[in-house]
Structure 1
Amino acid sequence: MGKVITVAQQKGGAGKTTLAVTLAISFARQGLRVALLDSDPQGSLGRWFMTRVERLGAADVEFSTASAWGVGYECKKLRQTHDIVIVDTPPKVDSDLRPSLREADLVLIPVASSHVDLWATDGVLDLVARESTRALIVLNRMNTGTRLAEEVAQAAHGVAQVATARLANRVAFAESLGQGLSVVEGRGAAATEGKALAAEVLAVLAE
């Protein structure tokens, strides 16, 4: 039976889709069977997937979509044939998000280098607690070496478990996404960060 990872954050622009893609391709390159489930009407993950298929000529991960209340059905189906199912969600926190959280073995909450992003985790964490699910904050788009980034990082530790691996604010993440790729398929600091986060997430899932 596969594991479900839900990526959720009520603030737009937090990098949910980029995070989902980074993990999915990193897992797939390790030989895991990976499915992506897009429940965000904006459809950015779907656009990325189609761009990837056009570029590579084949799909190395499965892709599916579902409305909020169809997530449970899709997750149960995809669990049967995949090691990891990653659910990308819309930037909101309401009853529509609950099915995605209910199915999750782990909820990842991306937080960028601002206190506003951290404040936006409150609603998600409240719903996570209600569903008795585990949450892991991922410090994303971090402006490394700045005082603000460290302040946000320290404050995040007082809110929930925080991933040790961080993703810096690098152009490579956006560039690769637009090409139907992931930074982990290249080299450099972004690839190293993405792979480190993927390894940590797998370790947390195994606990």
Structure 2
Amino acid sequence: MAGLVITVAQQKGGAGKTTLAVNLAVALRARGRSVALLDTDPQGSLGRWFMARRDVLGDPGLDFSTSSAWGVSYECEKLKKIVDVVIIDTPPKVDSDLRPALREADLIVVPVAASHVDLWATEGVLDLARREGKRPKVVLNRVKRGTRLDAEVREAAEQLEADLVEASLAHRVVFAETLGQGLGVLEAPRRGPASAEIEALLDELLA
């Protein structure tokens, strides 16, 4: 797994990119992998999470770096020498600035909050990924299982030029709570269904 690069991308804001990035990082670390987070989003949500983590834990247990869109390749080259996995969080837009992060990726993960609007928003990311010769994996997020909307979105997602991941993340408050505390759901005081969802997602992504 040495030097694996995972890019989390989605042009629609609020799809859960940062939530997904930090929880994958924490889950990988729990499995004994060294992880670096690379924030290319000017909003800096990932950086704020990391600073909150330092305040809470002292030793964050993860490496962290920031980069402009065009500095991604250089930063990845450095980080891959010192960690097993680099996770890139990207800004909520799709243009040429996103291409370096897609180009560096061994795995592109596209979170989709369970709505048709979010699904439509994936088209730009999938198009850029296709131009880079990559086939992304789509992860349904904030799912309300058993609803007609969930079934409709899942069915529509299966038609995309991407691989729909079977594991999904439900709409759970604990994801937002732990994010604000600089933690992942696996580090919550009580491990519940959210932890199992992240573990199942990671298993499937790495398979």
Q: Residue 198 of structure 1: CA displacement?
A: 1.2
Structure 2 residue aligned with 1:180: 182
- Structure 1 residue ranges without an equivalent (≥5): none
Q: Residue 150 of structure 1: CA displacement?
A: 1.1
1:5 counterpart = 2:6: yes
Aligned counterparts, 1:188-199, within 5 A = 188-199=192-203
Maintained 8 Å contact 1:105/1:134:
no
Distance (Å, rounded) in 2 between the aligned partners of 1:136 and 1:17: 16
Distance (Å, rounded) in 2 between the aligned partners of 1:141 and 1:177: 15
The runs of at least 4 aligned residues of structure 1 exceeding 3 Å deviation read none
Distance (Å, rounded) in 2 between the aligned partners of 1:130 and 1:65: 25
Structure 2 residue aligned with 1:202: 206
Query: Any idea what SS the aligned residue of 2:163 has?
Result: coil
Amino acid at match of 1:171: V
Maintained 8 Å contact 1:75/1:85:
yes
Distance (Å, rounded) in 1 between the aligned partners of 2:137 and 2:58: 34
Amino acid at match of 1:20: A
Query: Any idea what SS the aligned residue of 1:122 has?
Result: helix
Distance (Å, rounded) in 2 between the aligned partners of 1:20 and 1:98: 18
Distance (Å, rounded) in 2 between the aligned partners of 1:18 and 1:147: 25
Q: Residue 200 of structure 1: CA displacement?
A: 1.3
Measured on the aligned residues, the alpha-carbon RMSD in Å equals: 0.8
Q: Residue 75 of structure 1: CA displacement?
A: 0.7
Q: Quick one: percent identity of the two aligned structures?
A: 65
1:45 counterpart = 2:49: no
Distance (Å, rounded) in 2 between the aligned partners of 1:184 and 1:194: 8
Distance (Å, rounded) in 1 between the aligned partners of 2:147 and 2:93: 28
C-alpha deviations, 1:145-191, integer Å up to 9, x for none?
A: 21101110111011021111100010000000001111122311111
Distance (Å, rounded) in 1 between the aligned partners of 2:184 and 2:60: 14
Distance (Å, rounded) in 1 between the aligned partners of 2:103 and 2:109: 13
Query: Any idea what SS the aligned residue of 2:7 has?
Result: strand
Q: Residue 134 of structure 1: CA displacement?
A: 2.8
Q: Residue 45 of structure 1: CA displacement?
A: 0.3
C-alpha deviations, 1:110-135, integer Å up to 9, x for none?
A: 01111110011100000001011231
Query: Any idea what SS the aligned residue of 2:119 has?
Result: helix
Aligned counterparts, 1:82-97, within 5 A = 82-97=83-98
| TM-score (normalised: structure 1) | 0.96
- Structure 2 residue ranges without an equivalent (≥5): none
Q: Residue 92 of structure 1: CA displacement?
A: 0.2
